[in-house]
Amino acid sequence: MDFLGIHAKFVSFLYILHKAFQHWNYSEGLYFFYKENFIFEHHAFSWFLMRYTWATLVASICCLNACQATKQECQGMQVFQSMFTEVRQKAEELAAMIQILQGKLDSSVDLNCSGNAVGNRKNVLKLNVTYYHFEYGTCNLTQSRDDSSDWVLDNTYPDHTMRSKMGHTLRTYRPGNYLMRVTTRTFNPANAYCIRFYYRAESRAYGKLNVYIQEGNLRGISVFSLTHVPSKSWTLAEFSPNPEYLRRPFQIVLEAEHLTQYVYVDDLSVYNAGCSSEGVQTPICPPGSVVNNVMGRTTCYVFHMEAKTYKDAMLTCKSLWPQASLVSIESPIEQQFISHMINQSDDMSMTSEFGLWTSGNDFDHENSFTWSGQTHLIKFNYTHWYPGQPNNIAGEQDCVVILYPKQNHEWGDVSCNERHSFICEINF
């Protein structure tokens, strides 16, 4: 089974489908529905089945003279009805072929991509991480009902993920004599897990910040506890629970106990490996990365063709490694390397015509651009703006893209809600 075989089957399927829908054209303009939605919508075939049932009913009633259908309309609907079995059979054959191809593709990746200059692909495939970034809600964390208050979302201060007020954190509802708990999903037993998150307080906080391992409804002993939460800067909490607590399915409980100040938590990551494991303690460059070594620092650049908003692109980078970010260009040497990398890739060259996200933005302070998403904000000390940029049209352009390929990929500012391809950066 190869791509050409599937392509031929797919063309055959579309041809039969097209013929069927030609006869469906008589039913309430649904041919337009097919043209606009069928190929592009994920659930279109389900819609097709539902609409087929409806069309069959219409055909039966109308052709019994219960409504004003012409003879030509009746014939069209009846032909479509008779062709439905063939359409469904072709669709099922196509689905089966794609499933076989997926299996072969997975095997090929395991076989041919197991060696990597920086890391081992098989290790990457086995490593699972659950990442709670809190950008679009509480990430299915469950608020406890036996406490006195809740954790809430907040963007009062720059978060850890985006390093900007564009992002969100989890925050205690209020300081004082309150108990607040949230619980994660259930994790499967494993030999080791690593739990990581970042925390800070509005000002130095006293009380307790605890993490428990819970089995069923039984909350076990604390695996992490802090009585003084530092203020201002984000601090990493990282620990591997005793393997004895990991023998059965479990949940992780985050508890705030009588804290005297607002406390913030962000970027909770749960790995199914110990904290000292490769890919957890140290990053691994994904296959297909472009690696650059300058003055003892190794950087992996990972290109993503899919177009996303600035925030979603940054979150994709973070899913590779917590300290990864969209690309930051801090010197003429790095700009030259990035430009060369783009020019050497057909995919990057093509998408650069429409812009590639960088981590640069002035979201928090207008005209004060910084590189975001890393351990700390970095002010622009080097720029490569296209003449007339940044221009902040309509007061909505806060994020920086690599644009203007004919001018050596100079930069421009655009709305952070636009969708662009992007380059992730992982530094060692």
The single-letter DSSP state of residue 247 is S
- The larger pLDDT score, comparing residue 234 to residue 15, is at 234
Please provide the average confidence, as pLDDT, over all residues in the chain.
81
Task: State mean pLDDT over 410-421.
Answer: 96
pLDDT mean over 86-96: 71
Q: How confident is the model at residue 74 (pLDDT cuts 50, 70, 90)?
A: low
Residue 3, pLDDT > 60, answer no
Burial of 155 (0-12, 13-18, 19+ CB in 10 A): middle
**Cis upstream peptide for 332 (omega within 30°):** no
pLDDT at 46 over 50: no
What confidence score (pLDDT) does residue 120 get? Answer: 35
pLDDT at 101 (0 to 100): 66
Contacts of 44 (CB under 8 A, 6+ apart): 37, 38
User: What is the predicted pLDDT for the residue at 373?
Assistant: 85
Which pLDDT band, with edges at 50, 70 and 90, does 128 fall under? confident
Q: What CATH number was assigned to the domain covering residues 129-271? A: 2.60.120.200
Q: What is the pLDDT of residues 134-173, one digit of tens each?
A: 999 988 899 998 899 999 999 998 899 988 888 999 999 9
- Quick check: 274 pLDDT over 90? yes
Q: Looking at residue 15, what is its pLDDT?
A: 55
Which CATH class name applies to 290-427?
A: alpha beta
- Structure confidence at residue 288 (pLDDT): 87
How far apart (Å, rounded) are the C-alpha atoms in residues 130 and 316?
A: 13
pLDDT of residue 42: 37
- How does residue 319 score in pLDDT terms, banded at 50, 70 and 90? confident
Q: With 60 as the cut, is the pLDDT of residue 50 above it?
A: no
Amino acid 31: pLDDT: 35
Please check the confidence at residue 267 and state whether its pLDDT lies above 80. Answer: yes
Instruction: With beta carbons less than 8 A apart as the criterion, state whether 363 and 398 touch.
Output: yes
Considering the chain, what percentage of its residues have pLDDT values greater than 90? 54
**Mean pLDDT (whole number) for 185-196:** 95
Q: What's the 3-state SS for 326-372?
A: ECCCCCHHHHHHHHHHHHHCHHHHHHHCCCEEEEEECCCCCCCCEEC
Tokens 């063709």: give the residue: 305
- Domains of the chain, by residue range, sit at 3-112, 129-271, 290-427
Q: Where are the alpha helices (DSSP H) in 25-128?
A: 30-33, 44-62, 71-112, 121-126
Tell me the three state secondary structure of residue 36: helix
Q: Judge whether residue 130 has pLDDT over 60.
A: yes
Confidence of residue 5 (pLDDT cuts 50, 70, 90): low
197-211: average pLDDT: 94
The answer to whether residue 64 scores a pLDDT higher than 60 is no
Question: What is the residue type of 285?
Answer: C
Mean pLDDT, range 72-80, rounded to an integer: 64
Cα pseudo-dihedral 307, 125, 96, 92, rounded to 10: -50
Q: Among 19-33, 385-399, 404-418, where is mean pLDDT lowest? A: 19-33
**Ramachandran bin of 278, using left for φ above 0, alpha for ψ from -120 to 50, beta for the remaining angles:** beta
71-85, 108-122, 310-324: least confident range: 108-122
Asked if the model's pLDDT at residue 310 lies above 90, the reply is yes
pLDDT of residue 30: 37
For residue 182 the two structure tokens come to: 């949230």
Tell me the two tokens of residue 154: 């907040």
Torsion sign (Cα): 338, 340, 345, 347: positive
- What's the pTM? 0.68
Residue 124 pLDDT class (50, 70, 90 cuts): very low
Mean pLDDT, range 195-210, rounded to an integer: 94
Per-residue pLDDT tens digits for 247-266: 999 999 999 999 999 999 99
Mean pLDDT of 271-276: 93
SS3 23: helix
Q: Phi first, then psi: what are they for 103, rounded to 5°? A: -60, -45
